[in-house]
């Protein structure tokens, strides 16, 4: 029969057991800490490193019109839109045609004025012949009256033709402006569709340019911008990139403002924008800090091309990752395609 324990003895026994358990746990933890931890090495092949190097090099191509003067936080949205959304994007960008379009309203008003004949050039007033002017010679007087009526008819016809010609000219100008601005925003929508810029960012840049011109010429900002778009469009594509560049580069926009202030005719502004348009057509590559490749020494009897020589060196490099990367860089600087290089 088990011996009965007092309450005090039972508490002491429980405390001793708990202390023993704690010591056991400490020993187990120490043993785990002393155990060697092995990490499986991550194997990176030469090809993987080279592929990463190539991707990094390709990402360095930056078109000049996309370069911003002040870096802005990137929200991760590249702006790419699926084809099914392209039409909607284009519509939103082209909606600028209908926002505060002073140019079109002005042309419409001009057409109305032409219809009323208020802007026709003053005509020399025909003097109606009088009988006394011909010494009461009725035959001479009648001949003069016939001539007078003929001239009146001719004058009215010329006036109507002049008004019609001016009306047609105004209509042509209006249509040409609409088509140029439409092409401008269609190209801008294509930039968004290709993921080169987000719709929001392009719209912000466009608004910044229009607001800047509005400050320069209050009440005529949109009209000036549309006219400049039409002028650049007549020189070729690229107006959408020029105005984006102005919108994200305050220094360039200020240069335009200064030119317009000193030359209100806009000729200096057009010349400056034309230079920008010409410069943004080609992508700008970041300069490499690597030294220029040394020229290949070619003997008179050698038939190997530079590409073959570099490929041979590449294969000899074996598993020397750095050496193989250096050789590939050298080949790329010489314009040699290394995509098919293998051991």
Structural domain includes residue 272:
yes
Last residue within a domain, chosen from 236, 251, 284: 284
Structural domain includes residue 174:
yes
Q: Do 279 and 309 belong together in one domain?
A: no
Residue 4 CB neighbours (<10 A): 7
Residue-wise pLDDT for 181-240, tens only, equals: 999 999 999 999 988 889 999 999 999 999 999 998 888 889 999 999 999 888 888 899
Q: Do 309 and 274 belong together in one domain?
A: no
Q: Where does the pLDDT of residue 309 fall: very low under 50, low under 70, confident under 90, or very high at 90 and above?
A: confident
Last residue within a domain, chosen from 234, 251, 284: 284
Q: Do 112 and 232 belong together in one domain?
A: yes
Q: What is the mean pLDDT of residues 266-282?
A: 86
Q: Do 165 and 312 belong together in one domain?
A: no
pLDDT at 119 over 50: no
CB 181 within 8 A of CB 230: yes
Note the pTM of the prediction, 2 decimals: 0.46
Domain holding 220, by residue range, is 86-284
Q: Do 110 and 247 belong together in one domain?
A: yes
Distance, in Å, from the CA atom of 219 to the CA atom of 102, rounded to the nearest integer, reads: 8
Q: Do 261 and 327 belong together in one domain?
A: no
Number of domains present in the structure of the chain: 2
Q: Do 267 and 315 belong together in one domain?
A: no
Closest CA to 244 of 19, 101, 69, 83: 69
Q: Do 99 and 134 belong together in one domain?
A: yes
User: Quick one: which H or E segment has residue 90?
Assistant: helix 83-94
């Amino acid at each position: 029969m088990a011996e009965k324990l007092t309450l005090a003895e039972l508490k002491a026994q429980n405390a001793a057991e708990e202390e023993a358990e704690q010591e056991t746990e400490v020993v187990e933890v120490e043993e785990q800490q002393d155990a060697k931890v092995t990490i499986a090495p991550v194997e990176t092949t030469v090809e993987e490193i080279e592929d990463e190097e190539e991707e990094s090099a390709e990402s360095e191509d930056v078109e000049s019109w996309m370069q911003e003067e002040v870096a802005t936080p990137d929200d991760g949205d590249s702006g790419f839109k699926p084809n099914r959304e392209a039409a909607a994007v284009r519509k939103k960008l082209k909606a600028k045609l209908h926002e505060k379009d002073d140019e079109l309203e002005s042309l419409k008003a001009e057409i109305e004025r032409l219809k009323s004949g208020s802007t026709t050039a003053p005509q020399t007033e025909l003097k109606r012949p009088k009988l006394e002017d011909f010494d009461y010679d009725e035959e001479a007087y009648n001949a003069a009256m016939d001539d007078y009526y003929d001239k009146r008819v001719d004058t009215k016809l010329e006036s109507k033709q002049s008004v019609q010609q001016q009306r047609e000219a105004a209509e042509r100008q209006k249509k040409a402006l609409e088509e140029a601005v439409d092409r401008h925003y269609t190209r801008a929508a294509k930039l968004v569709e290709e993921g080169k810029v987000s719709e929001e960012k392009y719209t912000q840049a466009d608004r910044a340019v229009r607001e800047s011109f509005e400050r320069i010429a209050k009440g005529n900002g949109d009209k000036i911008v549309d006219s400049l778009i039409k002028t650049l469009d007549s020189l070729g594509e690229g107006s959408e990139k020029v105005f984006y560049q102005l919108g994200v580069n305050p220094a360039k926009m200020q240069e335009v403002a200064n030119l317009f202030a000193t030359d209100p005719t806009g000729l200096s502004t057009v010349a400056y924008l034309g230079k920008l348009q010409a410069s943004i057509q080609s992508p700008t590559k970041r300069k490499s800090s690597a030294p220029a490749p040394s020229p290949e020494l070619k003997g008179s009897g050698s038939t190997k091309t530079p590409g073959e020589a570099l490929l041979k060196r590449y294969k000899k490099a074996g598993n020397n990752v750095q050496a193989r990367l250096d050789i590939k860089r050298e080949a790329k600087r010489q314009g040699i395609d290394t995509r098919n290089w293998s051991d």
